[in-house]
Each structure stands twice: as structure tokens, then as C-alpha cells.
Amino acid sequence: MDLFKTISKRYSYRGGFKNKKIPKKDLKKIVQAGLDAPSGKNEQTTTFVIIDDKKFMKKISTMHAMKAMQEAKAMIVCIVDKRPQPVYEGFSFQIEDCSAAAENMLLAITALGYASVWIDGWLKLEERAEKIGKILNLPKGKVVRVLLPMGEPSQYLPRKQKKSFKERAWFNKHM
């Protein structure tokens, strides 16, 4: 799929999925898109766990009532350091690194005909990120930052309308 078409088709899919397993080769392509994302000072701070085993899927999916979580055929877990080390002038860019990786993977998911939703805020409540970290045997000092449940959508929903270019972008100065 053309890059610009992929970008315009990508949206947060919260619906159900068809009962079709995602091939490992597709999961590897998707995560490779995340690995290829830019990162501050090329530190490559985000790591990933690909979940496609039903036992692990069930442990995590039962924590969330969203249909996309309940019926996901695979999940990609983006992991960062709990206390990141500064890499430039006292700043760490792991949140930005993780975000760039997540968006690359969401685009790859769309390009391959799958759908997903970026789950982040939900992880911060009720120690869910830590609970998922324990399920995945994360090393001490690491934390789940983003979760991408995915599959082949059981229905195609319309993408929500975006504000126009003239409402959000300007040349040379902010209007």
C-alpha cells in the first residue's frame, strides 16, 4: 500500500477481529518497522515483546473490556526504562522513541491489512503496566509503555474526520 494512502487509512480500531492467526513473518515485519523508527541520539531505547501465544494473550486480554483487547490475535508490547538515563543535555527521549516506534508499527499494521489501537493511558492505572510486566517477565527497571492489540478487523469502520489543514497548520508563523 502507498505510504500516504496507509497514513490516511490508519485509525484506532477498537472493534472485534476475525478468527485468523497473524503469521510470524507479518509480526516480524511490523516490529521491524518499530525497530527502524528514529530515536534520540540513536539510543534505540524501546524494546518489544510480541505476544501470539493464547496463554499469554488470555492473561492480558482479560484485564480490559475493549473488544479489540478481548479478540486480539497478537499484541505488541513496547517497553522502556522506568528511570531513563539522560542522553543529551540532561534529557532522555525514550517517550519520543517509543512513540515513533509505535506509529511506525501502526502504519505497518495498516499496510498489511490488519488493525490496532494504541493503548497507553489505561496501562498507567491500577498498576496494569506492572502487572503485564510480571506476566512477561520484564527485567527490573523496565516498564510497559504502549500496548498494540491487533488482528484482521471483523468490520471496517469509518475513520473519524480530522480537522482541516488550515485549522492546524500554517506557513512561517502561527495564526
Residue extents of the structural domains in the chain: 3-168
Residue 92 has pLDDT above 90, yes or no: no
Mean pLDDT in residue range 59-72: 92
**In the prediction, which pLDDT does 15 show?**
93
- Name the CA dihedral angle for 155, 117, 135, 100, rounded to a multiple of 10 degrees: 140
Residue 158 has pLDDT above 90, yes or no: no
If you average pLDDT over every residue of the chain, what do you get?
93
| Parallel, antiparallel or unpaired: strands 47-51 and 142-151 | unpaired
Mean pLDDT in residue range 74-87: 88
Mean pLDDT is lowest, of 21-35, 60-74, 77-91, 133-147, for 77-91
Mean pLDDT in residue range 132-137: 95
Q: What is the pLDDT of residues 17-63, one digit of tens each?
A: 999 999 999 999 999 999 999 998 888 999 999 999 999 999 999 89
Q: What is the pLDDT of residues 98-108, one digit of tens each?
A: 999 999 999 99
Mean pLDDT in residue range 112-139: 95
Cell output for 145: 509503555
Residue 84 has pLDDT above 80, yes or no: no
What's the CATH class of domain 3-168? Answer: alpha beta
Write the CA distances from 39 to 32, 74, 78, 133, 136, integer angstroms.
Answer: 14, 25, 14, 23, 24
